[in-house]
A and B are shown apart, each in its own frame.
Chain A
Amino acid sequence: MDAFLFLTFAAIAVVCGINIIVQTHPISSALSLVGVMGALAVLYLMLGAEFIAAAQMIVYAGAIMVLFVFVIMVLNAGGERLTKRSAYVRIFGVPLMAMFLGLIAFVIQAALPRGEMVTFGAFTRGGPADVGRALFTQYLLPFEVVSVLILIALIGAIVLARKEID
């Protein structure tokens, strides 16, 4: 059952991911991204990371992507037109991509501990309390740095938006 669910939602995530770049219309791409996020949330949930799964849906799918879709609708962006591929892309595209994927696979292989398979249901400390405790003890500095970073982005956005009006 676990393997079946995993394969189903992993397949949905991959198909939606490919769909993001295949689709020519921005709305279709944005909604494919929502599909990827939803499928990932289910995978998080299966791995026991309940809070991350809920946060993924609330923050990414429910707030950020809604804003994306909103902006696309306001700008009334039409479908993108495909241009002819340049010579570089035709010659080097596939080999470069294969190399890049190989590199990622190698890094993941090297970074992860060997011989340990992930089992569904083995990890149980993914609740809100555990995540909160980890954020405010073990990862306090990264957490605060990230919040400052977001604040800077927010102030930057407001400054840029103000200039336009004046």
Chain B
Amino acid sequence: MNFYLLTLIKTGLIAFVLLTALAYIQWIERKVLAHIQLRPGPYRVGPHGLLQPLADVIKLITKEGFIPSHVNLFFYVLAPLLAVALALIPIAVIPFGPEIDIFGVRTWMQLTDLKIGALFVLAVSSVGVYGVALAGWASNNKYSLLGGLRSSAQMISYELPYALALAAPLLLLNTLSFREIVNAQAGYYLGFIPRWTIFQAPLPQVLSFIIFLIAGFAETNRIPFDLPEAENELVAGYHVEYASMKFAAFFMAEYANMVTVALVTTLIFLGGWHAPFPAPASNYIPVVAHVLIAAIAFYHGTQPIRSWDKYTFPATGVICLGIAGLFLVPVLQPILMPLFWFIAKAGLLLFVFIWIRGTLPRFRYDQLMNFAWTFLFPLAVLNLLATGFMVAVFSK
């Protein structure tokens, strides 16, 4: 098939799925946070607030996009554009699954594979701070400026452990292309321990994984590292002066960064789309999971608390059974299985992001800097040296 046509279709598909997912990750975050705090969360718009993201989008689009009079106009408008563009670009090199065959067309579930894919993600995410820093400066507001300053200082500091923790598993995998990174993690030790980098000999990269995740939290400005937008100190930090779609752009950029960190962590540390145990057994896990959800839904359908529960719960159950059935179709299995495992792992990481937001308080600024420079950075250097030593000793 024509390369351009194929790429256009894939780009459209990924853009649509990603943007929808971004809106719904926000819904999931609000729901999970609410349940952590014993609240119902969004509940009014649609069943269980499922249409809340749509309502939010409409609200943000139709709001008046005013521009304050005291701002530096060019950079004020450029900043959100820059933030959202740089947050979405890394998705282009991320593979979502292996090479698949659809109606005779063989293609990878990935837009493009760079030979330096891992470095590309690092490069784009390191430039991503300009959006936040410029927004803070161009707004001409002291809270914004403080937010922008904190963000750039934090990004420079945490970039180092982030990159060093990324380098250690790359020493084991011996490649920078995401396709090869995932392929190098295929297979199992003793038939059941997956060869993911966090388990891989000669040195399991558990420490790198933890450092990478912590630095990733800081890179995405999430709690406990959300000092650039600390509400109780800086009102809202760098985006105080932004409203309507320009604010939505920052919001989207934050979630896109979060998704990128989760996907890259999955690819590099958790074996990408490879199942946690060998094939015939692992293929039944998604089926069993969906059937279990269906069973729970049917059970609750028999004991309705609200009048509409009699219909909504069984309907959910039927949908879940349908999805479970899809996983059993042999033609669809090579497409759905990798996708399931990849999304399951990345989704678990995203859940950890939200869980930590609901659990931990914010760092104080000096603690943040001390933690990066006196603890995380030396630890990452030692970890890299140890990994390099082990690879040098045990490599053929």
Chain A contacts to B: CB under 8 angstroms: 27, 31, 34, 38, 41, 50-51, 53-55, 57-58, 61-63, 66-67, 69-70, 73-74, 127-128
A38 to B137, CA, bound (A): 21
> B97 CB to closest chain A CB, in angstroms?
25
Q: Are A70 and B149 in contact (CB under 8 A)?
A: yes
Give the most central of B122, B123, B126: most A CB within 10 Å.
B123
Instruction: List B contacts of A34 (CB < 8 A).
Output: 127, 130
A62 to B124, CA, bound (A): 8
Q: Are A128 and B123 in contact (CB under 8 A)?
A: no
Instruction: List A contacts of B129 (CB < 8 A).
Output: 62, 66
Instruction: List B contacts of A128 (CB < 8 A).
Output: 116, 119, 176
Interface status of B152 (Cβ within 8 A of chain A) = yes
> A118 CB to closest chain B CB, in angstroms?
20
A51 to B134, CA, bound (A): 28
Q: Are B163 and A74 in contact (CB under 8 A)?
A: no
* Docked complex: B169-186 residues within 8 A CB-CB of A: 176
Instruction: List B contacts of A61 (CB < 8 A).
Output: 123, 126-127
Q: Are B126 and A63 in contact (CB under 8 A)?
A: yes
Instruction: List B contacts of A62 (CB < 8 A).
Output: 123, 126-127, 129, 159
Instruction: List A contacts of B163 (CB < 8 A).
Output: 58
Instruction: List B contacts of A31 (CB < 8 A).
Output: 75, 130, 134
Task: Give 8 A-B contacts (CB < 8 Å), ordered by A residue.
Answer: A27-B75, A58-B119, A58-B122, A62-B126, A69-B134, A70-B156, A73-B136, A128-B176
> B1 CB to closest chain A CB, in angstroms?
20
Residue of B123, B124, B126, B130 near A69 (CB, 8 A) is: B130
Chain B contacts to A: CB under 8 angstroms: 75, 114-116, 119-120, 122-124, 126-127, 129-130, 133-134, 136-137, 145, 148-149, 152-153, 155-156, 159, 163, 176
Give the most central of A34, A61, A69: most B CB within 10 Å.
A69
Q: Are B123 and A58 in contact (CB under 8 A)?
A: yes
Q: Are A54 and B127 in contact (CB under 8 A)?
A: no
**Beyond known contacts A67-B152, A69-B152, A73-B133: 13 more, CB 8 A cutoff:** A27-B134, A31-B130, A51-B116, A54-B120, A57-B124, A58-B119, A61-B126, A62-B159, A66-B152, A67-B156, A69-B133, A69-B134, A70-B153
A63 to B152, CA, bound (A): 9
Q: Are A57 and B116 in contact (CB under 8 A)?
A: no
Q: Are B155 and A66 in contact (CB under 8 A)?
A: yes
> A88 CB to closest chain B CB, in angstroms?
34
> A79 CB to closest chain B CB, in angstroms?
11
Q: Are A70 and B116 in contact (CB under 8 A)?
A: no
> B308 CB to closest chain A CB, in angstroms?
52
A70 in contact with B152 given A57-B126, A62-B126, A62-B127 (CB within 8 Å): yes
Q: Are A63 and B116 in contact (CB under 8 A)?
A: no
Residue of A nearest to B152 (CB): A70
Give the most central of A34, A41, A70, A128: most B CB within 10 Å.
A70
Q: Are A63 and B159 in contact (CB under 8 A)?
A: yes
Residue of A58, A63, A69, A73 near B145 (CB, 8 A) is: A73
A50 in contact with B115 given A63-B159, A66-B156, A67-B156 (CB within 8 Å): yes
Nearest 10 pairs of A and B residues by beta carbon: A62-B126, A57-B123, A54-B119, A70-B152, A50-B116, A58-B123, A62-B127, A54-B116, A54-B123, A66-B152
Instruction: List B contacts of A41 (CB < 8 A).
Output: 123
Residue of B124, B133, B136 near A66 (CB, 8 A) is: B133
Instruction: List A contacts of B159 (CB < 8 A).
Output: 62-63
Instruction: List A contacts of B148 (CB < 8 A).
Output: 73
Q: Are B119 and A51 in contact (CB under 8 A)?
A: yes
Instruction: List A contacts of B152 (CB < 8 A).
Output: 66-67, 69-70, 73
Instruction: List A contacts of B122 (CB < 8 A).
Output: 54, 58
Residue of A58, A63, A74 near B149 (CB, 8 A) is: A74
> B21 CB to closest chain A CB, in angstroms?
26
Residue of A51, A53, A57 near B127 (CB, 8 A) is: A57
> B141 CB to closest chain A CB, in angstroms?
13
Q: Are A127 and B133 in contact (CB under 8 A)?
A: no
> B216 CB to closest chain A CB, in angstroms?
16
A14 to B314, CA, bound (A): 64
Q: Are B126 and A27 in contact (CB under 8 A)?
A: no
> B159 CB to closest chain A CB, in angstroms?
6
Instruction: List A contacts of B153 (CB < 8 A).
Output: 70
